[in-house]
């Protein structure tokens, strides 16, 4: 795939305000973000909750509220075990906030100063966290404020999820029969194993973007159709066929999916490296993704490169995106970062994230 790469500079910033005691954890491990009216909903790798920040000026977001996921879902690992948050999506038509966890295994990281023998021993330990298999949604009800500034509240009795346990989920059980993906279900995420990082929803159509596996330079997007039945999300057949999911391969020039966002019938893809590398990081647009009902090879016939996002050495790794709408102009792409540089933290007063222009 031949592309002309265009670097982009942010055209503005949004400030996320956390109390001082919170700055060491949530802001420094953000992995998902979604705008819902006058609020930003946030997920962090090392959290067992979803966070909401509200605004009055579309620039400063604060008044943080935290919602424990255990109050909405039966978490087999207990209420305090982190869930490896990776995706958030808003379905405005249904009024539901969707959440996705990585569904991945984890290899232990050696500690600084360990001997070679101890480091190898540590790296030989592979485990799973029981709460990582959640894919679900929560109904947001009611409104505080008016128009774009209204704030919606989660309804504890209106959450639903695909069936999952501490060991697996309906999704991973389904993929066990996929000859391309099944070998990677038992491989840790940071070793090119199975790892969900992107989520996008429109109506019953659910798209999951994978960080791994990368298959001979191709990234994977899974397309599902889910219908709520009480507390469960159940698979439906994709219209026009007999498949319960579609496996798309996407040519991102060797990069993989780090997040997904919806724009009209298209998908915005945040693409980055699958392994522990700083970059490159690029934003693509998959045209007419939500009009698709068959498995596809997605290349530059349906894919546009929009721009590159700057990154730093071991800092400022773009991790989550949301289409951001404000009273100040056209929609922009909001980007949050894992391992943020010190300049973004402003000595704990607020955490600064970036806005990038979109040519619609």
* Order of strands, sheet of 332-338, starting from the edge strand that comes earlier in the sequence: 30-36, 39-44, 49-55, 60-68, 12-16, 351-357, 332-338, 317-324
Instruction: Give residue 5's pLDDT band: very low, low, confident or very high (50, 70, 90).
Output: very low
**pLDDT tens figures, 216-264:** 999 999 999 999 999 999 999 999 889 999 999 999 999 999 999 999 9
Percent of the chain with pLDDT over 90: 56
Distance CA 187, CA 185 (A): 6
Specify whether the CB–CB gap between 66 and 80 falls below 8 A: no
Distance CA 79, CA 84 (A): 13
Specify whether the CB–CB gap between 185 and 175 falls below 8 A: yes
**pLDDT tens figures, 277-307:** 888 999 999 999 999 889 999 998 899 999 9
Distance CA 209, CA 65 (A): 28
The correct answer on CATH 2.60.40 for the domain covering 12-357 is: no
Per-domain residue ranges for the chain? 12-357
**Does residue 360 carry a pLDDT above 70?**
no
- Burial bucket for residue 242 (CB in 10 Å: 0-12, 13-18, 19+): exposed
Give the tokens for residue 230.
């009480």
Dihedral angle sign, alpha carbons of residues 286, 288, 289, 290:
positive
**pLDDT tens figures, 132-160:** 899 999 999 876 555 555 678 888 788 99
Distance CA 135, CA 160 (A): 9
Give the tokens for residue 343.
């300049």
**pLDDT tens figures, 102-119:** 999 888 888 888 888 888
Distance CA 71, CA 159 (A): 10
**pLDDT tens figures, 53-101:** 999 888 899 988 999 999 999 998 888 887 778 899 999 999 999 999 9
Give the tokens for residue 195.
């790892």
Stated pTM of the model: 0.92
Which runs of consecutive H residues, i.e. helices, occur in the chain? 116-123, 170-175, 342-345
Percent of the chain with pLDDT over 70: 93
């Amino acid at each position: 795939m031949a592309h002309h790469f265009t670097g982009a500079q942010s055209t503005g910033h949004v400030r996320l305000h956390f109390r001082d005691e919170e700055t060491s954890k949530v802001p420094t491990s953000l992995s998902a973000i979604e705008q819902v009216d006058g609020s930003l909903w946030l997920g962090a790798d090392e959290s067992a909750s979803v966070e909401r920040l509200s605004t009055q000026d579309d620039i400063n977001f604060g008044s943080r509220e935290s919602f424990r996921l255990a109050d909405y879902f039966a978490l087999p690992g207990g209420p305090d075990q982190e869930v490896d948050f990776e995706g958030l999506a808003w379905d405005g038509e249904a009024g539901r906030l969707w959440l996705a966890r990585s569904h991945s295994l984890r290899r232990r990281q050696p500690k600084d100063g360990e001997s070679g023998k101890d480091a190898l021993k540590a790296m030989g330990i592979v485990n799973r966290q029981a709460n990582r298999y959640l894919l679900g949604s929560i109904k947001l009800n009611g409104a505080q404020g008016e128009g774009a500034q209204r704030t919606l509240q989660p309804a504890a009795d209106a959450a639903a999820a695909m069936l999952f346990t501490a060991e697996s989920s309906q999704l991973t059980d389904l993929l066990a029969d996929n000859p391309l993906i099944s070998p990677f279900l038992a491989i840790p995420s940071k070793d090119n194993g199975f790892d969900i990082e992107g989520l996008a929803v429109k109506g019953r159509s659910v798209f999951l973007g994978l960080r791994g596996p990368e298959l001979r330079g191709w990234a994977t997007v899974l397309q599902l159709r889910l219908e709520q039945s009480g507390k469960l999300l159940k698979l439906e057949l994709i219209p026009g066929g007999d498949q319960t999911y579609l496996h798309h391969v996407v040519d991102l020039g060797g990069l993989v999916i780090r997040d997904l966002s919806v724009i009209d019938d298209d998908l915005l893809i945040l693409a980055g490296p699958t392994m522990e590398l700083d970059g490159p990081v690029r934003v693509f647009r998959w045209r007419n993704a939500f009009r698709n009902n068959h498995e596809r090879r997605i290349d530059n016939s349906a894919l546009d490169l929009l721009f590159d996002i700057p990154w730093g050495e071991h800092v400022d790794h773009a991790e989550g995106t949301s289409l951001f709408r404000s009273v100040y102009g056209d929609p922009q792409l909001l980007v949050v970062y894992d391992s943020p540089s010190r300049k973004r933290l402003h000595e704990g007063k607020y955490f600064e994230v970036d806005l990038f222009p979109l040519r619609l």
